[in-house]
Structure 1
Amino acid sequence: MRLSRTALAAVAALALASLAACGGSDAPSSPAQGGTKLYEALPDAVKEAGVIRFAGDSHPPYRIVANDGKTVTGIDKELQDALAKVLGVRTEITIVGGLPAALSGMLASRYDAFNGPVKDTAEREKQFDAIVWMVSRTSYLVPKSASSTIQSSGDLCGKKVSGTAGSIVEDQVKRLTEWCVKQGRPEVSFLGLADTNGTILAAKSGRADAAGMTESAALDAISKEKDAFTYVTQTDEQGAGVDQLAMLVPKAGGLGPVMLDAFKEIFENGEYRRIVDKYGLQNVAVDEPGYNTAAAQ
């Protein structure tokens, strides 16, 4: 049944009054199409669609997926909202089953970007532009029931570690294994799973002795279950180093340079710092965004 203009106006007024009474909504409004200095620089395909399509797996605190499997909150959502405002288009996230699905989906033009955050490598830069916006060290979430035997990352030699398949953690476990072997100790066994939630469940259930992830993800898990976990961090001696973590954008789409400029703008306008401070990422923040840093090394 169609409503008259008067009725529609009344409904709109009632909705606004309800929001005001509740103190407003935390959900940011979608940006108006165009109207920003970066909008005209966007590829025509993005302007015509009016949306940048992100792939994303379940990866707290970056992407916290609700029970409906669609609603996403967390760092990635807030970062995308900030980028959308300066680009003049909205963003949307489709939940996929891990890094391989995100990469193949971008190459098949189903998605425009993936904000892992994923390690920037020269191999990935052959097909994707990488905008580096944070750094990280790999940490291992350890159930407190096993903490007496795992008090440092060196104690993971001979143990089973769960991690997201194809992620930075898988590479880090290989480096840790190399260190273990040099010490005359047994290798670390890696259990590759679809997402971070799965890796945590594997550690809780005893399928793995520890779950590998970024330090910020480990801290997030501990904050939710304070009495369940502790964590250890891989050292430089064990091949950890500091990894450059990036948003990936397919080179073929031409979005990379514009996305870099959008990151520069949210650094300048304070939105990047607001998100960093809100989620306690100060130790892994960068002073300015990087671009294809692996190829430049």
Structure 2
Amino acid sequence: MRMPRTILAGAAALALAGVAACGGGDGETQRPAGATALYDALPDGIKEAGVIRFAGDSHPPYRIVANDGKTVTGIDKELQDALGKVLGVRTEISIVSGLPAALSGMLASRYDAFNGPVKDSAEREKQFDALVWMVTRTSYLIPKAGSSAVKSSGDLCGKRVAGTAGSIVEDQAKRLTEWCAKQGKPGLDFIGFADTNGTILAAKSGRADAAGMTESAALDVLSKEKDAFTYVTQTEEQGAGVDQLAMLVPKSSGLGPVMLDAFKEIFKNGEYKKIMDKYGLQSVAVPEPKMNTAATQ
């Protein structure tokens, strides 16, 4: 049965109207239902993609990578989901081999952000906006088999300490080395690895006397391997607790200011506190998020 031309013409007009309503004819991005002012402030590229792409290495409990090498749980996943919700876009994490891969990947526009935990520094702020959302205290896992000589962080002077290369832990180890020198003792022999898993294996195998990491990461390891390690925490006298940890986004992307507003929103709505409390991070939480603090110090 042939349909009358008037009906066909009407159907065609409705179809064209639908295309125009979606903005498809001009290549515009359809605005999600219920989108907020934060969504409107996002860079056009992210609105078009509908997703913020995070780089991330394996770093429990921040990023716990499943055996498939893709599925990620932990602090970062929950924090990024909370940010994505107030921004009105999805978030996803791609696993990379360490900090250098994350930084170069962002500068090459493969990723939009990296959540560290990474130190906010004036040097990094030349290329990245740094969204500070916590501070840090470094702890050192000590294999129980060789722990008799290490009862406090001061006993690490002259010891081999494994840590993630280029991380905040490496900076903290340098401060501890400076403290050791003031005591007339040899400094730490820092051994850099690509990720936290590598540092733990180095300590287990005897290639290092200790594995340095954030205190939250150390507590996570101890909860799973209580019989394998003890741990000590660096003191404020030794330089701990002064470094601010940040999410990095390339300055050229324009994402930094709107991401700061998103952080402010999850502080305001309680999601930040909920996540920090869940993972026992109350001692390193901050009262408010800030951006690019190093350049102003």
* Category of TM-score, reference length = shorter chain: 0.7 to 0.9
Structure 1 residue 138, shift from structure 2 partner:
1.1
Equivalent pair of 1:34/1:89 in contact (CA under 8 Å): no
Structure 1 residue 48, shift from structure 2 partner:
0.9
Name the SS for the 2:149 alignment partner.
coil
Structure 1 residue 76, shift from structure 2 partner:
0.2
Distance of 2:228 and 2:34 partners within structure 1: 47
Q: Does 1:50 align with 2:58?
A: no
Q: Does 1:236 align with 2:236?
A: yes
Name the SS for the 1:147 alignment partner.
helix
TM-score of the superposed pair, with normalisation by structure 1:
0.87
The number of aligned residues is 266
Q: Deviations over 1:1-54 (max 9, x none)?
A: xxxxxxxxxxxxxxxxxxxxxxxxxxxxxxx67722310000011111111010
The letter of the residue matching 1:197 is N
Q: Does 1:140 align with 2:133?
A: no
Equivalent pair of 1:33/1:50 in contact (CA under 8 Å): no
Q: Which moved more, 1:184-193 or 1:32-41?
A: 32-41
TM-score of the superposed pair, with normalisation by structure 2:
0.87
The letter of the residue matching 1:263 is F
Q: Does 1:63 align with 2:76?
A: no
The runs of at least 4 consecutive aligned structure 1 residues that moved more than 3 Å come to none
Name the SS for the 1:246 alignment partner.
strand
Structure 1 residue 265, shift from structure 2 partner:
0.5
Name the SS for the 1:111 alignment partner.
coil
Distance of 2:196 and 2:278 partners within structure 1: 21
Distance of 2:141 and 2:159 partners within structure 1: 13
- For 1:240-279, what aligned pairs fall within 5 Å after superposition? 240-279=240-279
Q: Does 1:214 align with 2:220?
A: no
- Can you give the 5+ residue segments of structure 2 that lack an aligned partner in the other structure? 1-31
Structure 1 residue 222, shift from structure 2 partner:
0.5
Distance of 2:274 and 2:153 partners within structure 1: 32
Other-structure match for 2:36: 36
Other-structure match for 1:25: none
Other-structure match for 1:7: none
The letter of the residue matching 2:99 is L
Other-structure match for 1:73: 73
Name the SS for the 2:162 alignment partner.
strand
Equivalent pair of 1:128/1:251 in contact (CA under 8 Å): yes
Percent of paired sites with the same residue: 84
Other-structure match for 1:28: none
Other-structure match for 2:281: 281
Name the SS for the 1:273 alignment partner.
helix
Other-structure match for 1:88: 88
Structure 1 residue 181, shift from structure 2 partner:
2.2
The letter of the residue matching 1:86 is V
Q: Deviations over 1:140-186 (max 9, x none)?
A: 11111222110111111111000000001111111211222232212
Distance of 2:207 and 2:105 partners within structure 1: 30
Distance of 2:138 and 2:279 partners within structure 1: 18
Q: Deviations over 1:229-284 (max 9, x none)?
A: 11111122223342111100100000000000000001111111111111111111
Distance of 1:116 and 1:34 partners within structure 2: 31
Q: Which moved more, 1:69-78 or 1:268-277?
A: 268-277
Distance of 1:86 and 1:168 partners within structure 2: 29
Name the SS for the 1:187 alignment partner.
coil
Distance of 1:34 and 1:203 partners within structure 2: 50
Q: Does 1:158 align with 2:158?
A: yes
The letter of the residue matching 2:196 is T
Other-structure match for 1:108: 108
Distance of 2:237 and 2:265 partners within structure 1: 37
The letter of the residue matching 1:111 is Y
Distance of 2:231 and 2:108 partners within structure 1: 38
Distance of 1:194 and 1:33 partners within structure 2: 42
Equivalent pair of 2:135/2:241 in contact (CA under 8 Å): no
Distance of 1:237 and 1:276 partners within structure 2: 25
